[in-house]
């Protein structure tokens, strides 16, 4: 019996790419590949790329350049580029880096086995189509290996919003929602393999409208169907758009015990002028009123957000409006970035903000967000929370897990195991985590 081939996958970017990498590994697992943590050991290397951050493509080319020596040592090594950079720049990748054997977009990775076979025959293979078939159904079933207690599950892909700064509609395509029965089957399978928490993923997840037995289901209706699965203890979802936060989803946050009190709801800016130029289709006021309604339904919910500073034509007054919004909302955690151009997007052609001014604004915003995050963490001391233990800690007898609010919590002298869900009293707050003790 021949030794299994080894697959190394490096994943960039969001949780959806993490999920996609898992499915790529499963697709190639049916062809005799097993994963390795070292590129040096691999028979195939896949870079699953993200096009959201600045100079994403150049980072990919730099990574590929590091594999030149390895390719020279191992002529049979196959190298592939997947994901959003592959979708956006497939032909350019092939031209600039002859060592690349295959390029596959995020909607075509179910075709990896056929592409790998062609690459093994010496062909250069590229597939960046938006195929009509459901890639999730075309993939082989997940192997029944034990899983960790938390897992991602993609329910929706693509986006129809066309924000002026974003490449997602061009690299992931239009919004598509998976049928509910397929999601429920996959969720049940995950639970049977040890998963107790599922995070539903989508570029615009709360726009979910997947086919159900009696018509399309909303995200809230899908969550209530997942709520019926025995053994599934926690449900989360990300990432959402303010305009798609429907009444039934807000209500679910107050009534569904399995839906965790954490919501990532990007606003991007606090200036209505900038929001309009971003094509966000909401105002600062409508966002704040929406947060008020969500907190009325679930008063203890932790709100997370995304922010872009230095967007084209942003003035100091516009930036101050963002700071004012942050002060009013009070975020438990947030992600903030300096605007960077994406070729092909409307904002790329507009007058750019001075980089030094953008840097200064980012530092001020991040200081405020860090202060708020620390205040929220400190307020957890003395409270009781549920913690799902995910791994052993660095110290003997220590376990680490995630709270209901997605805080990292470590517990000393812990008698619980990975996968256990326990009540914990928070005893102290650190820079990026909480310390707790078991109750009872």
159 appears as a binding residue in the annotation = yes
CA distances from 133 to 46, 58, 85, 339 (A): 23, 32, 22, 35
- Give the integer Cα–Cα distance in Å for 285 and 205: 23
The HSE-up count of residue 47 (CA atoms within 13 Å, CB side) is: 27
DSSP string, 275-293: HHHHT----HHHHHHHHHH
In which residue are the tokens 């990026």 written? 432
- Residue 73, CA distances (Å) to 69, 81, 123, 390 in order: 6, 20, 20, 39
pLDDT at 133: 52
Topology (CATH level 3) of domain 143-379? pyruvate-formate lyase- activating enzyme (3.80.30)
Q: Is 84 annotated as a binding residue?
A: yes
Measured CA to CA, the distance from residue 280 to residue 330 in angstroms comes to 21
CATH number for the domain formed by residue range(s) 384-438: 2.40.50.140
Please state, in angstroms and rounded to a whole number, the distance separating the CA atoms of residues 128 and 91: 10
Torsion sign (Cα): 197, 203, 209, 213 = negative
Task: Tell me where in the chain the CATH 2.40.50.140 domain(s) lie.
Answer: 384-438
| Local structure of 338: helix, strand or coil | strand
> Which 8-state DSSP code applies to residue 99?
T
Within 8 A by CB and 6+ apart from 257, the residues are 227
pLDDT tens, per residue, the chain with 440 residues = 567 899 999 988 778 888 888 888 888 988 889 999 999 999 999 998 877 665 667 788 888 988 989 999 999 999 999 987 888 788 888 888 999 999 998 878 888 889 999 999 999 999 877 655 555 565 555 455 678 999 999 999 888 999 998 888 877 788 999 999 999 999 999 999 999 999 999 999 999 999 999 999 999 999 999 999 999 999 999 999 999 999 999 999 999 999 999 999 999 999 999 999 999 999 999 999 999 999 999 999 999 999 999 999 999 999 999 999 999 999 999 999 999 888 788 998 899 999 999 999 999 999 999 999 999 999 999 999 999 999 999 999 999 999 999 999 999 999 999 999 999 999 999 988 999 999 96
CA angle at 172 for the pair 171 and 178, rounded to the nearest 5°: 170
Q: Between 180-192 and 219-226, two packed helices, what is the crossing angle to 10 degrees?
A: 30
- Tokens 């996958």 locate to 9
pLDDT given at position 135: 54
Burial level of 399, CB count in 10 A (0-12/13-18/19+)? buried
Is 256 annotated in a binding site? The answer is no
Domain with CATH 3.40.50.12160 in the chain: 5-127
pLDDT of amino acid 19? 85
Torsion sign, CA atoms 180, 181, 182, 183: positive
Q: How far apart are CA 280 and CA 374, in angstroms?
A: 29
- The answer on whether 414 is annotated among ligand-binding residues is no
DSSP letter (8 states) at residue 87: H
Give the pLDDT score at 12: 85
Q: Which CATH class is domain 5-127?
A: alpha beta
The residues that bridge with 152 in the sheet, in sequence order, are 199
Task: Convert 293-331 to b/e letters by CB count within 10 Å (16 or more is b).
Answer: ebbeebeebbbbbebbbbbbebeeebbebbbebbeebeb
The confidence score (pLDDT) of residue 27 equals: 86
Q: Which residues of 409-428 are buried (b: 16+ CB within 10 A; e: fewer)?
A: bbbeebebeebbebebebee
d(CA 9, CA 37): 8
């Amino acid at each position: 019996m021949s030794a299994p081939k080894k697959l190394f996958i490096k994943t960039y970017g969001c949780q959806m790419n993490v999920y996609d990498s898992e499915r790529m590994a499963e697709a190639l697992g049916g062809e005799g590949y097993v994963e390795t943590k070292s590129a040096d050991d691999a028979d195939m290397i896949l870079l699953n790329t993200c096009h959201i951050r600045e100079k994403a493509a150049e980072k990919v080319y730099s990574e590929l350049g590091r594999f030149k020596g390895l390719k020279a040592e191992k002529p049979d090594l196959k190298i592939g580029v997947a994901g959003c950079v592959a979708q956006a720049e497939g032909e350019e990748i092939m031209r600039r880096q002859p060592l690349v054997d295959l390029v596959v977009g995020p909607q075509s990775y179910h075709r990896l086995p056929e592409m790998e076979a062609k690459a093994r025959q010496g062909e250069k293979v590229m597939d960046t189509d938006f195929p009509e078939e459901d890639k999730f159904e075309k993939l082989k079933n997940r192997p029944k290996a034990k899983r960790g207690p938390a897992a991602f599950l993609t329910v929706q892909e693509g986006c129809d919003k066309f924000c002026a700064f974003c490449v997602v509609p061009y690299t992931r395509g239009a919004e598509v929602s998976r049928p509910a029965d397929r999601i429920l089957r996959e969720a049940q399978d995950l639970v049977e393999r040890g998963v107790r928490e599922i995070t539903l993923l989508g570029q615009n997840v709360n726009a979910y409208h997947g086919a159900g037995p009696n018509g399309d289901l909303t995200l809230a209706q899908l969550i209530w169907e997942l709520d019926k699965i025995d053994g599934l203890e926690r449900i989360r979802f990300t990432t959402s758009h303010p305009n798609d936060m429907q009444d039934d989803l807000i209500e679910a946050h107050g009534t569904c015990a399995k839906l965790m009190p954490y919501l990532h709801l990007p606003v991007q800016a606090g200036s209505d002028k900038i929001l309009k130029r971003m094509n966000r289709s909401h105002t600062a006021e409508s966002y704040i009123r929406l947060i008020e309604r969500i907190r009325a339904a679930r008063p203890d919910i932790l709100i997370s957000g995304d922010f872009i500073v230095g967007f084209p034509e942003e003035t100091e007054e516009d930036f101050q409006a963002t700071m004012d919004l942050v002060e009013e909302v009070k975020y438990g955690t947030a992600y903030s970035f300096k605007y960077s151009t994406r070729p092909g997007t409307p904002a790329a052609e507009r007058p750019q903000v001075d980089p030094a001014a953008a840097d200064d604004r980012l530092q001020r915003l991040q200081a405020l967000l860090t202060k708020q995050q620390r205040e929220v963490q400190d307020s957890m001391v003395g409270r009781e929370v549920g913690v799902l233990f995910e791994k052993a800690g660095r110290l003997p007898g220590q376990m680490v897990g995630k709270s209901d609010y997605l805080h990292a919590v470590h517990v000393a002298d812990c008698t619980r195991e990975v996968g256990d869900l326990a009540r914990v009293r928070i005893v102290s707050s650190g820079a990026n985590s909480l310390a707790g003790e078991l109750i009872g």
